[in-house]
Amino acid sequence: MHLDIRQIAKDFGDTAALHGVDLSVASGELVALLGPSGSGKTTLLRIIAGLDFPTRGQVLFGGTDASLKSVQERNVGFVFQHYALFRHMTVADNIAFGLRARPRARRPSEADIGRRVETLLELVQLGGYGKRYPAQLSGGQRQRIALARALAIEPQVLLLDEPFGALDAKVRKELRRWLRDLHDRTGHTTLFVTHDQEEALDLADRVVVMSNGRIEQVGVPEDIYDRPATPFVFDFIGEASRIPVQVKAGVPHLGGRAVPLPADVKRPADGPAILYVRPEHVTLAADGHGLGGTVASLHRSGSSRRLSIRLDGTDALVEAIAPYDGEAPPVGGRTALRFHSPGLFAA
Amino acid sequence: MSARFVQPSVIPGFRLALGFTVFYLAVIVLIPLAALIWRASDLGLPAITSLALEPRTLAALQLSFVTSFLAALFNVPFGLLVAWVLVRYRFPGRRLLDATIDLPFALPTAVAGIALTALYAPNGWIGQLFAAAGIKIAFTPVGVWLALVFVSLPFIVRTVQPVLDDLDREVEEASATLGAGRLRTVAKVILPALLPAILTGFALAFARSVGEYGSVIFIAGNIPYVSEIAPLLIVIKLEEYDYAGATAVATIMLAVSFAMLLMINLVQSWSRRRFGRV
Amino acid sequence: MSDVATLITREAVIAETSGETVGARRRQPRRPTEESPTIRWTLIGVAVALLVVFLLLPLVAVFAEALRRGLDPVIDALTDPDGLAAIKLTLLVAAISVPANLVFGVAAAWAVAKYEFKGKAFLITLIDLPFSVSPVVAGLVYVLLYSTSHGWFGPVLNGLGLQVIFAVPGIVLATIFVTFPFVARELIPLMEEQGTTDEEAALSLGAGGFRTFWMVTLPNVKWALLYGVLLCNARAMGEFGAVSVVSGHIRGLTNTMPLHVEILYNEYEFVAAFAVASVLALLALVTLGLKSLLEWRYGDELAAGRRH
């Protein structure tokens, strides 16, 4: 089931949570909505589910407008951040809830429901847990039960709100791999919301980066990381040094000297601009060709050594990573820099 | 006081505070209640049973328990409705309404008693409407029930209200995403989650109603075998210097109070074990 | 996999799109956790109507009956010597029993909330016990202890010239019993929540135990304390059943206001009965008003569960 979101806008009183968002998700795709809190990602997810309604815009399931359908009619599987399991029901009753809620004509027999619950419990690797109560499960187990419950209704799309947000780091990583495997087996069109870039880049086919109710960039994880489309994406994902420059005739200048850039970098109009570059995209050129600078500090950060380099004629500092086997220049030493995949945006 | 009894603490005053607490508790509550139990054990179970089985006493106990049960039963849906409206909806006057719920706690019972009688007596504001239809409320068991509804309503509202307030909206949304309509969500998801609170409120309301005196005796009319409640019978027996009779009735009522207290504790611990919290 | 073509990111609102399909406003489904306005307003209406009939009408009736023949009979009833004696006795009883239970409440909360010891849960249950005992039984147990003819201690005390039952001491004791838990049960949960770090900090800075209590603990719980005192006082002044059993109903001597109401009522002095009752009803209203004010303004500083 493919999903189309057209010009979705949502106002809460005077503040706009979403400003006309467009997005298409292909059938079977696993897409992450990534952004800081307040970026509108959860609001968008809830609008798709029919838990909230947009001020303007449409949601289409398989090309059919679902805007007027209630959440019950949309048949979406929704996994809540805190799972929202029914505490007074056993795990089996939780999973069976959606099937028992169906109109009589489409409701499976109790025997069929029982079999389906068993199958789903096996699928989420919790066979034999049917008689327990949610309070008797660990966080990770509750998470998987919530997923099984959502899958029980054979949803058109699967929506997950911060699915790993309430778990500790170790369980989170395990479940991430597990969810990817499950998705590859079941093939549900899936959207999940996260504020964790590592989770989004690791898990998703495509990542939608959101900020202030707008989509900043959509792309495969490699694009998002290596070719950020906006300053926000540069800042929010990974690390980047910010270098103020002057653009003259399409060429950035720093302290009066032109900064050489790869040909595919988009150039803004002439005037003040900011050059973004990730530490791992900075090469220390032994041959001296490149932007000259002095090493301001050098320190070890885990497995690598990080350098802070002051560019000649400015106060701007550029972060770089010293090659693991090479000689790093000492503090106060001279070096030359070359930038790969930088971004250049009007200030 | 050995070191094992209390965990070491740098904060001073434990002996003084606990000593005073236990002493005061003993003088005011425990010794007097023990006196009642001592008297009852002097009488012995057979004597208490035969005193309780006296027709007039039996009728009074029956009236107290049945009307209290029915009042608590009526207050379950009534209290649920009020709690729901107060928690879920915003409307003008909501806070005022919320404050009035505690009126039966704050209004002295004798005042409530004469006010209810004035309202429901055959010539009262409401009583005359029913009198016209040939229905008598005051001076009948219906009047007793009505007074008990008044005094015990806050117990259900005030136990359900905070639980309903804490109820996670996401759980209701989860139910909706799974295809359940609103009515099904209320019946299968919300009400079961409120069940421990409802049972606790019911037990509190029942316990209060069984022991209630002031608000009932005026409207009840106190006709032996018809509208005479058990607490009143204790007073009557005391006035007749029938200490044994009074002790017997009081012992039965105290036993019911303790049973209710026990039930509340069981409900709470069951709910905590099964659902992780109360 | 994906490519940029399946995906459109448009910052600006495109006029033609919004014109055809997007901008049109249609009736949208309700949010799934809300009821329709019809149901909502019906439920509100039914709840309000029931509360008006069951709770508010009795209150209105008190004042209406009192003022049936104007203000003069009300003033007469309240300035009558027996009426004045009842008011004085009620104030006296409250003036003894409220401070007594206040001191107890603070001591009990200090012991329960600031320390871990065996039998703590049981102690809390015992403190709440008077709430689940019928007021009449509460009166009876004191009669069984202190009655001059039948009580355990009665004859001894009588020999010392001290009468408890059918006298003021009995009324005070019965009142203390029924109002016993009010202050303690407000303070215990709050002080448990607050823990002991503030006190430990004060002690580590060299403050003594009493100073720590006075300067640190008490300010932290002052609103909850006031809340408990308010409820305790309302019940102390309004208690009927327990007091009725031990008082003996001696006019001008052992009649509190609620008992006075009963006597007037039983003598068919309805206006006078409702006049005294309306003073008690006003007290209830003031109590409710102050209580609500505390809940709204200082809800955070009362124990959990009182935060509406």
Q: Where do the structural domains in chain C lie, given as residue ranges?
A: 3-34, 70-306
Tokens of C74: 């009300």
Q: Break chain C down into helix, strand, coil percent, rounded to 5.
A: 75, 0, 25
pLDDT of residue A34: 96
User: Rounded to an integer, what distance in angstroms lies between the CA atom of residue B276 and that of residue A136?
Assistant: 8
Whether residue B98 contacts residue C55, with contact meaning beta carbons closer than 8 Å, is answered with no
Does the pLDDT at position A183 exceed 50? yes
The CA-to-CA distance between both ends of chain C, in Å, stands at: 52
User: Rounded to an integer, what distance in angstroms lies between the CA atom of residue A282 and that of residue C39?
Assistant: 65
User: Rounded to an integer, what distance in angstroms lies between the CA atom of residue B33 and that of residue B56?
Assistant: 25
User: Rounded to an integer, what distance in angstroms lies between the CA atom of residue C277 and that of residue C300?
Assistant: 34
Q: Rounded to a whole number, what is the distance in Å from the CA of A128 to chain B's nearest CA? A: 18
Q: Does the beta carbon of B192 lie under 8 angstroms from any beta carbon of chain A?
A: yes
Mean pLDDT of chain A: 91
Q: Please report the number of interchain residue pairs, chain A to chain B, with beta-carbon separation below 8 angstroms.
A: 76
pLDDT of residue A287: 74
What's the mean pLDDT in C254-264? 94
| Neighboring chains of C (3 or more beta-carbon pairs < 8 A) | A, B
Q: Are B111 and C62 within 8 A, CB to CB?
A: yes
pLDDT of residue C16: 34
Higher-pLDDT residue of C9, C161: C161
Residue A255: CB atoms within 10 Å:
15
Could you tell me the pLDDT band of residue A305, with boundaries at 50, 70 and 90?
confident
pLDDT of residue C7: 35
User: Rounded to an integer, what distance in angstroms lies between the CA atom of residue C94 and that of residue C235?
Assistant: 9
What's the mean pLDDT in C29-38? 86
User: Rounded to an integer, what distance in angstroms lies between the CA atom of residue C151 and that of residue C163?
Assistant: 11
**A3-231 is a CATH 3.40.50.300 domain:** yes
Q: What are phi and psi of A309, to 5 degrees?
A: -120, 125
Chain A interface disruption, residue of C8, C34, C36, most A CBs within 10 A: C8
Write the CA distances from B266 to B199, B208, B254, integer angstroms. Answer: 10, 18, 18
CATH of C70-306, one of 3.60.70.12, 3.20.80.10, 1.10.3720.10, 3.40.50.1220: 1.10.3720.10
Could you tell me the pLDDT band of residue B1, with boundaries at 50, 70 and 90?
very low
pLDDT of residue C259: 95
What's the mean pLDDT in C73-77? 91
Q: Are B179 and A75 within 8 A, CB to CB?
A: yes
CA angle C169, B32, B235 (to 5 degrees): 75
Domain pair A3-231 / A239-346, same fold = no
Give tens-digit pLDDT for C229-241.
Answer: 999 999 999 999 9
Whether residue B126 contacts residue C57, with contact meaning beta carbons closer than 8 Å, is answered with yes
Q: Are C115 and B9 within 8 A, CB to CB?
A: yes
Residues of A in contact with C8 (CB under 8 A): 22-24
pLDDT of residue C3: 39
Does the pLDDT at position C51 exceed 80? yes
Residues of C in contact with A6 (CB under 8 A): 17, 21-22
Q: What are phi and psi of C59, to 5 degrees?
A: -65, -45
Whether residue A44 contacts residue A8, with contact meaning beta carbons closer than 8 Å, is answered with yes
Give tens-digit pLDDT for B103-122.
Answer: 999 999 999 999 999 999 99
Q: Does the beta carbon of C107 lie under 8 angstroms from any beta carbon of chain B?
A: yes
Q: Does the beta carbon of B188 lie under 8 angstroms from any beta carbon of chain A?
A: yes
- A246 class by beta-carbon count within 10 Å (0-12 exposed, 13-18 middle, 19+ buried): middle
pLDDT of residue C8: 35
Instruction: Give me the interface pTM, i.e. the ipTM.
Output: 0.90
Give tens-digit pLDDT for B146-158.
Answer: 999 999 999 999 9
Could you tell me the pLDDT band of residue C43, with boundaries at 50, 70 and 90?
very high
Give tens-digit pLDDT for A288-302.
Answer: 788 888 999 988 877
User: CB neighbours of B108 closer than 8 A, spacing ≥ 6?
Assistant: B214, C237, C238, C239, C240, C257, C258, C261, C277, C280, C281, C284
Does the pLDDT at position C278 exceed 70? yes
pLDDT of residue B3: 53
What's the mean pLDDT in A312-316? 84
Cross-strand partners of A78? A159
What's the mean pLDDT in B16-41? 94
Does the pLDDT at position A246 exceed 80? yes
Domain ranges of chain B: 10-43, 48-275
Does the pLDDT at position C23 exceed 50? no
| CATH class of the domain whose range is B48-275 | mainly alpha
Q: Does the beta carbon of C37 lie under 8 angstroms from any beta carbon of chain B?
A: no
Residues of C in contact with B100 (CB under 8 A): 51, 55-56, 288
CA dihedral C87, C91, C93, C95 (to 10 degrees): -170
Give the closest of B6, B104, B250 to C115, CB-based. Answer: B6
Q: What are phi and psi of B238, to 5 degrees?
A: -65, -40
pLDDT of residue C25: 46
pLDDT of residue C1: 37
- B229 class by beta-carbon count within 10 Å (0-12 exposed, 13-18 middle, 19+ buried): buried
Tokens of C15: 């006029």
Whether residue C256 contacts residue C93, with contact meaning beta carbons closer than 8 Å, is answered with yes
CATH classification code of A239-346: 2.40.50.140
DSSP letter assigned to residue C132? G
pLDDT of residue C165: 87
Does the pLDDT at position C18 exceed 50? no
Domain ranges of chain A: 3-231, 239-346
Residues of C in contact with B39 (CB under 8 A): 144
C-alpha Rg value of chain B to the nearest Å: 23
Does the pLDDT at position B235 exceed 60? yes
Q: What residue in B sits closest to C242 (Cα-Cα)?
A: B213
pLDDT of residue A109: 96
What's the mean pLDDT in C175-200? 93
Does the pLDDT at position B78 exceed 70? yes
Does the pLDDT at position A128 exceed 80? yes
Q: Are A80 and B170 within 8 A, CB to CB?
A: yes
Residues of A in contact with B179 (CB under 8 A): 72, 75, 98, 101-102, 153
Does the pLDDT at position A42 exceed 60? yes
Give tens-digit pLDDT for C128-163.
Answer: 899 889 999 999 999 999 988 777 888 888 888 888
What's the mean pLDDT in B52-69? 95
Mean pLDDT of chain B: 92
Q: Rounded to a whole number, what is the distance in Å from the CA of A24 to chain C's nearest CA? A: 5
Does the pLDDT at position B248 exceed 90? yes
Give the closest of C58, C107, C199 to B17, CB-based. Answer: C107
Does the pLDDT at position C168 exceed 60? yes
Least confident of A6-10, B103-107, C11-15: C11-15
Q: What percent of chain C has pLDDT over 90?
A: 67
Q: Does the beta carbon of C123 lie under 8 angstroms from any beta carbon of chain B?
A: yes
Residues of B in contact with A120 (CB under 8 A): none
Q: Are B275 and A133 within 8 A, CB to CB?
A: yes
Q: Are A49 and B177 within 8 A, CB to CB?
A: yes
Q: What residue in C sits closest to A229 (Cα-Cα)?
A: C9
pLDDT of residue C10: 35
Q: Are A72 and C6 within 8 A, CB to CB?
A: no
